[in-house]
Structure 1
């Protein structure tokens, strides 16, 4: 289940707030082992297995280089930009459990102001990020070929 941080919800609800796509312009995706935290304000749990950036470039907070972007898909849908290759090199071996997508500031740890969202990772079935396999190993690059966020009408 996708969980928004309080910082993201506050930003989106402000009269002069950003769009979801703008909030995550040049963001970064981190993949963790274990179970998803109860909310996106909580400290990261599990082991950081892989950081996904555009082209696998080292991500640096506050810099556009290596940052990920969304593009408008069909109605009520944002998806991974077709002009980017979302990939990374695992920093640890293990089984994927959940992800956290951070804005370009990369606010880590417990926070009610950091702009980020969490979700589950699955191979098949109901989940927020589908991958071809849950096991990752150092030395074996990962690529995210498909990622979308939908906004239901009800």
Structure 2
């Protein structure tokens, strides 16, 4: 039989002493190509764009324009409702995957810093966008983003 977590435990793991705190003031980078097999692996590509609060310049380690999550509900943590998550593309290409970095934005191969990856598509991915076509100079906005702690 599978281990099953209560909603209360899931919310605590996601909440102020867990995921929400660890990933506070983070940043998302969207990359072309194939997602690495692990979030510990190097990116292997130049990002197409970086998502921050209101497309602001991100300063690693300071929290300036870093992304935040709201309080967990039913084992899920969504982007802070008060924030606009957006970025201006630095390159043109097709979005294939993203990496969400904690505020330190440690890049390259690394097994000690907090970050997670996911796929990008127009549907059925961890990050769904209206279009995966990214154009240099154009702004991309992330309207919704939710991380769910599985019950089992």
- TM-score scaled to structure 1, two decimals? 0.86
Aligned to 1:30: 29
Please state how far the C-alpha of 1:153 moved relative to its aligned partner: 0.5
Give 3-state SS (helix, strand or coil) of 2:117's partner.
Answer: strand
Aligned to 2:138: 140
Conserved 8 A contact 1:102-1:116: yes
Aligned to 2:71: 72
Please state how far the C-alpha of 1:65 moved relative to its aligned partner: 1.5
Distance 1:64 1:47 in 2: 23
* Structure 1 vs Structure 2 CA RMSD: 1.5
Please state how far the C-alpha of 1:62 moved relative to its aligned partner: 1.0
Aligned to 1:128: 126
Distance 1:95 1:21 in 2: 29
Conserved 8 A contact 1:34-1:45: no
Conserved 8 A contact 1:32-1:45: no
* Structure 2: stretches of 5+ with no match in the other structure: 1-12
How many positions carry a matched residue from both structures? 138
Runs of 4 or more consecutive aligned structure 1 residues displaced over 3 Å after TM superposition? none
* Structure 1: stretches of 5+ with no match in the other structure: 1-12
Conserved 8 A contact 1:36-1:45: no
- TM-score scaled to structure 2, two decimals? 0.87
Deviates more, 1:96-105 or 1:64-73: 64-73
Are 2:118 and 1:119 equivalent residues in the alignment?
Answer: yes
1:85-113 per-position Cα deviation (integer Å, ceiling 9, x unaligned): 00000010000000000000111000111
Please state how far the C-alpha of 1:127 moved relative to its aligned partner: 1.1
Aligned to 1:3: none
Conserved 8 A contact 1:34-1:47: no
Give 3-state SS (helix, strand or coil) of 2:21's partner.
Answer: helix
